[in-house]
């Protein structure tokens, strides 16, 4: 509980949704708070037993189809409330897409539990593919549309370059998160951490692993900037209206906010601090201090 109280989830929401106010900002804060509470449920038996993980995930996914009953677990009732508020005013296409993203996010926890149950540490490629879903970037960016009261045209959202930009944002946040949480996760025997995977499967030293993660961050942010620079011509090629073009650029801004917001928040959050050393971070997020690439 102390770690949640010092984690500054409201600040993270403000960084992800910098133009939000009132009820829209409240929704963003509630989502960020729910993410971390839900994630921590899998630090214990629910995250080590695939059957238990599947039961919790299935009950949560059910809230995408119908309201949660009074007997549902509190975390499920909270998710049902978030989903109902999130879908207000959004198109059927957005709701389908957002629900698909939520299902992929939730199912990832079952996969992680299966890995832990078998004691099988994933490869770098497997880890990044899985964490692209469980890091929560896709639902977070979907909510940027709801909070910002706009929608990205479906044909744009499905375009390969848009998918690549989303994947980059998810991987950047994953890599950064894994560095910040490496010592905490190592202490509890976690296998889903990129730095630990590089050490144990790739036989890197810790310093070599950190440098490799810096390189991965840098190459991805540079690629993101290339794709972003092409947005005007891509909008022209799709013959978008002015409103649609504006939505595309707001989508890109939301991805930028997710990457940069996570970086700045982690430096101040108590999320990655030790219970024994509450003011001392487990790992220095400044190891990724590549501010020019993140701007």
Q: What's the confidence (pLDDT) of residue 242?
A: 96
H-helix segments, 63-181: 74-87, 92-118, 124-134, 137-148, 154-157, 160-180
Cβ proximity of 176 and 258 under 8 Å: no
Q: Which of 1-5, 145-149, 218-222, 241-245 has the lowest mean pLDDT?
A: 1-5
Residue 150 clears pLDDT 80, i.e. is over it: yes
Number of domains in the chain: 1
The CATH number for 20's domain is: 1.10.600.10
Residue 23 backbone phi and psi in degrees, to 5: -65, -30
Question: In the predicted model, what is the mean pLDDT of residues 191-195?
Answer: 96
Q: What pLDDT shows up at residue 285? A: 41
Q: Is the pLDDT of residue 288 over 80?
A: no
Report if residue 86 sits inside a domain: yes
Whether 240 and 153 have beta carbons less than 8 Å apart is answered as yes
Question: Which tokens belong to 98?
Answer: 């957002």
Residue 190's domain comprises: 9-294
Mean pLDDT of the chain: 90
When computed from its CA atoms, the radius of gyration of the chain, rounded to whole angstroms, is 19
Tokens of 234: 């891509």
**170 part of a folded domain:** yes
Q: What secondary structure letter does DSSP report for 285?
A: G
Q: Is the pLDDT of residue 221 over 70?
A: yes
Q: What global pTM score does this model have?
A: 0.89
Say if 31 falls within a structural domain. yes
Amino acid 8: pLDDT? 87
User: Which of 37-46, 135-144, 263-272 is predicted with the least confidence, judged by mean pLDDT?
Assistant: 263-272
């Amino acid at each position: 509980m102390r770690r949640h109280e010092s984690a500054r989830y409201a600040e993270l929401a403000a960084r992800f949704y910098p133009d939000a106010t009132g009820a829209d900002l409240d929704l963003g804060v509630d989502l960020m708070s729910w993410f971390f509470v839900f994630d921590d449920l899998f630090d214990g038996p629910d995250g080590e037993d695939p059957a238990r993980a599947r039961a919790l995930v299935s009950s949560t996914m059910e809230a995408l189809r119908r309201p949660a009953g009074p007997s549902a677990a509190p975390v499920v009732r909270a998710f049902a409330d978030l989903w109902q508020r999130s879908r207000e005013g959004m198109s059927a296409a957005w709701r389908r897409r957002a629900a698909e993203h939520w299902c992929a996010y939730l199912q990832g926890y079952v996969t992680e539990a299966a890995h832990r149950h078998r004691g099988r540490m994933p490869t770098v490629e497997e880890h990044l593919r899985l964490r692209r879903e469980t890091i929560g970037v896709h639902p977070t960016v979907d909510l940027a549309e709801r909070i910002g009261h706009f929608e990205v045209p479906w044909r744009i959202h499905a375009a390969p370059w848009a998918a690549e930009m989303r994947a980059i944002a998810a991987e950047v946040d994953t890599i950064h998160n894994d560095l910040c949480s490496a010592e905490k996760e190592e202490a509890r025997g976690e296998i889903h951490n990129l730095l630990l995977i590089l050490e144990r499967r790739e036989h890197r030293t810790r310093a070599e692993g950190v440098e490799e993660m810096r390189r991965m961050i840098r190459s991805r942010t540079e690629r993101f900037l290339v794709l972003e620079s092409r947005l005007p011509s891509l909008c022209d090629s799709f013959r978008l209206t002015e409103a649609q073009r504006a939505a595309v650029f707001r989508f890109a801004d939301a991805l930028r906010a997710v990457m940069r917001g996570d970086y700045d928040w982690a430096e101040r959050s108590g999320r990655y601090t030790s219970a024994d050393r509450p003011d001392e971070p487990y790992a220095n997020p400044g190891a990724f201090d590549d501010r020019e690439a993140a701007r």
